[in-house]
Structure formats: structure tokens, C-alpha cells
Chains A and B, each alone.
Chain A
Amino acid sequence: MFMLEVKKVLISCGIISALAVTSGFAQAPIKANSKINVDGSVIYPHKDGKYTSYLLNEQSTNGFNQHGRTPTVNEIKAWNIDVMPDGTGLPEGEGSVELGDELYSSQCAMCHGDFGTGGKGYPTLSGGQGSLTNQLLKEGDEPPFRTIGSYWPYASTLYWYIQSAMPFANPKSLSNDETYALVAYLLSINDIEIDGVELDDEYVLNKEKFLKIKMPNEDGFYPVDPSRNDLKEVRPPLAQGTRCMSNCNAPKPVHIAAEITGFDPAISTSKKLPEMKASLTVLPGETIYNESCMACHSNDALGAPVIGDKDIWKEITSRGMDVVYLNGINGINAMPPKGGNMDLTEAQMKEVIDYIVIKSK
């Protein structure tokens, strides 16, 4: 019975106080003949040529797969690179913490900060263990920090995600060995041990050791095991309202404490015709800048010199443009060669550097 399931889940959530109001659940009972799906939603029948208000073509829809074909073994291998918590899909390979450190410094630190401490807006990757019960209720409260070490339940996700989606501007560029190295480094900065062994610089992670990783917050989620029965239990509403119609004793309204501005474009409902924009000509290098450089050079969060900052760019160009071109092409500080976009030619790099310098005068 659905009602009982809801109550059971509330208990399992440890939210005892919510039980006091379960009487409210009775106010909108589900029709007895409705079928309910795993998520608690209504399953509407396909019946009598209708699905809810939609009419159906009830002829057979079988056989359309004849238009497609069977994928080859190599095709499946090329795309099926996901890694599951039990290690299914994990390739052979190995990489050291030391190599991971190098890769991290050159390709990750510009967004995620030194040692995974985070950059403006980009995820923090380390620290935060023991903080998950924090609640930021008032100014001065510490919030919870959800990092790889404090929050992620499985290292398989880390491997798979890095390999398919990182580095942000140049994904799918890391080899299996490099990915192992980065995972090793990220575990080491989170003080995670493997099989009781601390991950020092010389530590080499491989498939065999990877399968022994247990993440600190593996048990931090429910359902613990999303088996079919367990699954049904996590389908309750997060909270169920009550339908009071009169004298409901509502609390007083709370106003906005500090109004936020900075919407882009600015909020307006004016129907006055806007003034024509002066020039829509695209400067050489602008397109490349937007596609390959903007992610780091548009603000100072990542430590990259910001486009339009006259002082910084005056200093950078003071040793001549040839030096600037060279640094751009070979990389400098946290910036990898060509900003990580190895598809760019030297001529294109010069064009985009010229563009940034023009925009910063």
C-alpha cells in the first residue's frame, strides 16, 4: 500500500518529526485502480486507441529495426568505455602519483586550483571530509563541502569522467595511463589510502589496485543497494503538503535580504526599439578566442591574464610581441601549449594573441 511505503521511508530517512503530519497524506488519495511506477508517478494505460488525451495508431509497430544494422565488435569497443562501480569496463594501464601531479599542474590546476582547492565557480576536488552534516543556516556557519574525498561514492566514476569529459576545454585527450595517474594524484590529495597503503609520489596505480579502492563516503547515499525493492522506497515526495483551505495560521512573509543584480541581459519589459549596435564586424582571432581562450581569459578566477586588463597586458607585451607569441604557443605558467587546443596553427595563435592584445589596449 502506497501510504505505508511513504511512512516507512520517512522513518528510514530519520525524519521523525515529519511523522506528526502524515495525516495530511490522506487528503489526496490516489484512485484505487491507478497503476504506480517506480518513481511514484501514475502509469496511464494505452487502451482503446487512446493514451490519456492522445489518440493512437494501434497497428503493429514491429519490424522497423530492419532499417538499422548490428554494431561490429570494434564499434562497441570504441564507444563502450564506461566504468562501473564493480570495475566492469576498467581498462589495463598504470600511472604514478608523480605523473598525475605533473598532469594536474599543467592541465587541471587552472580551473580546480592547486591541490584541488577549487577555483571560482569550478568544483573543489579535495578536502571536506567530515563536513557533510554541516548546514549553512546563518552567516558564519560552515557549509558542507562536497568533494571527491568527502562525497563521491565510487572511484569508477572518477576514472570514467576524467577520461571522457576532462580536461574541460580538451576532453578525451588523456591516455589510460595518464588517467590512472590523475586518479592516483586526486586520491592522494584527498588522503585516501588503497588497501591500507598511503599514496606517496612513487605510488603507481593500476587496474588491480584500483579495484581495491574504497571511497570514504561509499555508504553516504541511499538507497544503499538500488535493488528493485529498495528502489520503491526512495520514491516518496521529499515532502508532502497539506490542503488547508481556511485559517491556516501561515507564517509571515520574508522579504529579500539583499537584492541580486547583474542579469544578462538586464531585466526589462520595455518594447521601445533598441538602438542599433555600432559594428558587428568580427575581428580576426575573435572566433578562436571565443572557442578556445575565453574559458580562462575572461575573468581572473583562474589566474590567467584577463582580456581588457590594460595594465597586465602592457606588462606582458613590454618584452615584445614575439615573446608573447612564443609563450602562447609553448605555454606559460598554468597555461598549456596553445591553451590546450593543439589543433590551432601558429598563425592562428598569433591571430588570437593579436586579438587579445587589441582588446586590452
Chain B
Amino acid sequence: MTKKEKTMNDTSINDKANSRRNFFKKSAVYSMSAIAASSIVPISKLNADEIEITQKAPWGTKLGDLVDKYAYGIPSPYEHNNVRRVHDLLSSGDRYATVSMTPHHLQEGIITPNGLFFNRSHGGTAHVDPEKFRLMLHGLLEKPLVLTLKQLKRYPSISRIYFIECPANGSTGWRGPQFNNLQFVKGMTSCAEWTGVRLKTVLDDLGLSPNAKWMLAEGSDNSEMARTIPIEKVLDDAMLVWGQNGEPLRPEQGYPVRLLLPGWEGNLNVKWLKRLEFSDKPWHTKEETSKYTMLQANGKGINYFWPMEVNSIITSPCPEVPWTDLEIGDKIEISGLAWSGRGTVKTVDISLDGGNNWVEASLKGLILPKAWTRFSYIIKWDGKKKVLLSRAIDDSGHIQPSIDKLIENVGVEGIYHRNPVIGWEVKSNGEVNNVHVRS
């Protein structure tokens, strides 16, 4: 039986139609024409009058808020669930050294609002007084330099859209699927337009020694977060940034200044920046020995591996935004995010059958290096169970591996840099669950 043949008496009438019918009863706008029409067209498509249209809206019949009610605007109160979330499983004993996750299922486009940018710190969010901020550059430089914030901001600025991702993003699922939501499966990445100065521009005047092979970047927070960066990255696209999506950096992102290393582990983008030292040798900071190293099955740890590999995730549907309200035959867009710290996303493939057959999705919007990239593929919902997967390829020549391939390569113990092909099972009723395609 096709959808068009359904009637109100049809026992297989779906939930959507049911709720619509209840609504009709309550709203008492059940016109004679609607009753007549109901015997020949599906109830859900009836052109019945809705009170949202026939009655005056409450917000249209009185004055709104004063223009200056919020000196700094806030989201609609109805969007109170569009928030970052935490889980004690991901904390280091408390909520200072932990991470809050971006709600990807409610995000649009490729820019994360500043209040929803994922937040990872190692000793809580520091509040740096911008008047007392100082940045020191020293070591293998002919002309070491101290800058105030005002002096730093005099440098000619550039603005670039780049994602930041914690290398532990997705790490919660390396032994099997764990979280049944998108927010905790991939919430440790966000993307923003950053404004600052290219680090090379600053160094061009300082007489960097040819022996300078490494740079130490150190924060001024409780944990003095520090990392060692090879000079090749410093001189390529590294930035000192003070702006985030058109406003000063948020405290959680390192106000007033953070280092930005496009595409590299979030942890390297040192926040609350205080000091840059140049040396011929690496430092082996705590975050590149005890943590942020990748222990493999052979008992050896990989250190000094930095770029976040090519990755992707379907954001619609997802467990939080399922297809339970779809009717068979409805058109629906599968969409998601792809990114690569090694270059620009070139292609995203989608599978509807758990990885046996694939089609190429469309990329849409801006396609920028080391930035979130949206992909899209439209299907007609047939009410049949599916396993949706996405697989991205970048212009450095890398393809997301399968889960099996990644485990075969690096074992299950290193929690960082997990970028395998993952996705969702869509059940015939439209419910969406986290599954792993793996042997």
C-alpha cells in the first residue's frame, strides 16, 4: 500500500499522522472540507488550518525586549539544549583538567560559535589580565623580544578559518562503540576564524639562528602547558592569535593570546601564551612524554607526531537527530563534516550499507585547507535499515582507514589520533545508534 492510499481508519497509520490527528481534535478547527478530504489524501498532508497561522502570535501582539536588554547578546532561551557537555569518564579526577564537548548535532556551517567551542584545559581556565600580559621570544634569536598585548596587535593581522581538534577526539571508541551520541563521539573539535599575526612575520625581524630547529611554546596558566614545535611548522603557517570569530579570544581559548598551529593536535595550540624559546634540541615536555604519545602494541610510544589526520563524521542523522519523523518516500539530506590537518578535503564518500558500496558525496560551501568542510548526499527514505558511513580523502594523499586497519597498525592502547571510518546505524523506525564496522 502506498502512502497516498492511507486513510484515517488505516491501522498502520504512522505516529506523525496520529499526533496530527490529536492536534486537530484539540484545536477544533476541523473543517468540513478537511473531513471530506481525509478519505482520499493522507492526513499528514491535509491543508487543515493551523492555529500558528490562523491565530495571532503572542510575540506579535506585545512589545519585545528593549534593544539594550543584553549588552552582549545571548541565544534564544528555547535553544537551552545547544550546550557543551561533560562526562566524568573523560576527566582527570575533577573538572579542572577535563574537556567539554561541542554539540555538533546542533551546529550549522563550518564556524563554531565561541560559547560552544570545545574546551580542554589542564588546570582550569586562566583569567589573564591583558594589561599584565607579556609575550617573550628568546633563545637562538639575535634580537630577543618582549611584547605587550597592544604592541603585538600592532603587527599586520591575517584572519584564517582553521579547525582545532584534540588528538583524543574519538578515543572513547577504540575498543568498541561506547557513547550513543554524536556529541561525545566527535565533540572534541571545533572550527573558527582566527585573527592574529603570522609567527614568521614576527621572526623575520629577530634574526632567527639557522641552528634553531625547535620552538618551545609555554602558557602562563596553572599547568604551564608547554609543547615543542619544529621550526618548519613555525615558519609555515603558525600564528599568534588574539581574535576568534570577530571578537577577542575567549578565556577558555587562551585569552588574550594563543599559539595557533593549523591542523595540528589541539594541545599544541598553547593557550594563555607567555613564552617562545628557540633551541637546537627538543624539550620533551610533560605533554610529549607522559601524555600525547602513542603507545603501540609493540610497547614503543610514538612521540612527535602532530597533524590531525583526515577525518569525517555524519552529523545528520545522528543519535540526537534521528529520522523517526520521516515517512517512506520522504527526501532527506545526509550531511556532515570532514577535515584534515594535512591539507584540504578533496573527496568524501558515503556508504549506506555499512561499507560494502560507496558513492561520492558533494562538498558544499567553502573548501579551505585545515578547516571544517561540509558534505552532503540526498536520498529518498525507504524505511529500510541502513548503516551510514563517511570516508574522507585529503590532498596530501590520505584516506581514512577502517577501524580494523587502524587497530592492526597501532593496537588498542594508544588513545590518540583515532581517525577511522565510523558512522551510524539507522533502524527501520528511523532511530539512530552508534555502531562500529569492525571484525
Contacts and interface: CB of A to CB of B under 8 A. Distances in A.
Interface in A216-260: 220-223, 226, 228, 231, 234-235, 237-257, 259-260
Interface residues of B, number: 143
Nearest to A44: B369
Contacts of A202: none
A18 B206 contact: no
Contact of A13 (B91, B296, B413): B296
Interface stretch (A51-59, A91-99, A307-315): A51-59
Interface stretch (A120-128, A177-185, A326-334, A345-353): A120-128
Main secondary structure of the interface of B (DSSP, over half): loop
Given A151-B290, A256-B434, A269-B321, A65 B302 contact: no
Q: For A52, A69, A259, which residue has the most chain B Cβ atoms within 10 angstroms?
A: A52
Nearest to A266: B85
Contacts of A79: 136, 274-275
B372 interface: no
Contact of A246 (B89, B342, B357, B404): B357
A131 to B, nearest CB: 9
A264 B86 contact: yes
B387 A253 contact: yes
A82 interface: yes
B180 A256 contact: yes
Interface residues of A, number: 125
A260 B87 contact: yes
A14 B236 CA distance: 32
A301 B93 contact: yes
A259 B178 CA distance: 6
Contacts of A160: 285-286
Given A120-B93, A268-B81, A42 B343 contact: yes
A21 interface: yes
Contacts of A153: 284, 289
B305 A255 contact: no
A75 B391 contact: no
Nearest to B407: A239
Contact of A76 (B88, B138, B398): B138
Contact of B396 (A36, A111, A262): A36
Contact of A237 (B284, B368, B398): B398
Interface string B221-234: 01110100010110
A294 B277 contact: no
Nearest to B77: A273
A168 B366 CA distance: 43
B183 interface: yes
Contacts of B406: 238-239
B301 interface: yes
A139 B28 CA distance: 59
A165 interface: yes
A253 B435 contact: yes
A231 B299 CA distance: 20
Contact of A241 (B156, B293, B295, B421): B421
A265 interface: yes
B404 A251 contact: yes
Contacts of B143: 65, 70
Contacts of B277: 80, 82
Given A151-B290, A256-B180, A68 B343 contact: no
A254 B433 CA distance: 11
A153 B288 CA distance: 10
Contacts of A67: 147, 151, 154
Main secondary structure of the interface of A (DSSP, over half): loop
A152 B289 contact: yes
Contacts of B184: 260, 263
Interface stretch (A24-32, A190-198, A281-289): A24-32
A267 B395 contact: no
B81 A238 contact: no
A269 B307 contact: no
Q: For A62, A132, A156, which residue has the most chain B Cβ atoms within 10 angstroms?
A: A132
B176 A257 contact: yes
B176 A256 contact: yes
A337 interface: no
Contacts of A268: 81
25 contacts: A18-B409, A39-B306, A53-B368, A54-B160, A62-B205, A64-B155, A64-B202, A70-B144, A79-B274, A82-B218, A121-B93, A123-B92, A136-B175, A168-B123, A234-B302, A234-B304, A237-B309, A237-B401, A239-B405, A244-B358, A249-B356, A259-B180, A267-B85, A267-B181, A267-B320
Interface of A: 2, 13-15, 17-18, 21, 24-25, 27-31, 34, 36-44, 52-54, 56-57, 61-65, 67-71, 75-76, 79-80, 82, 84-86, 88, 111, 119-123, 132-137, 143-144, 146, 148, 151-154, 156-157, 160-161, 164-165, 168, 171, 220-223, 226, 228, 231, 234-235, 237-257, 259-260, 262-265, 267-274, 294-295, 298, 301-302
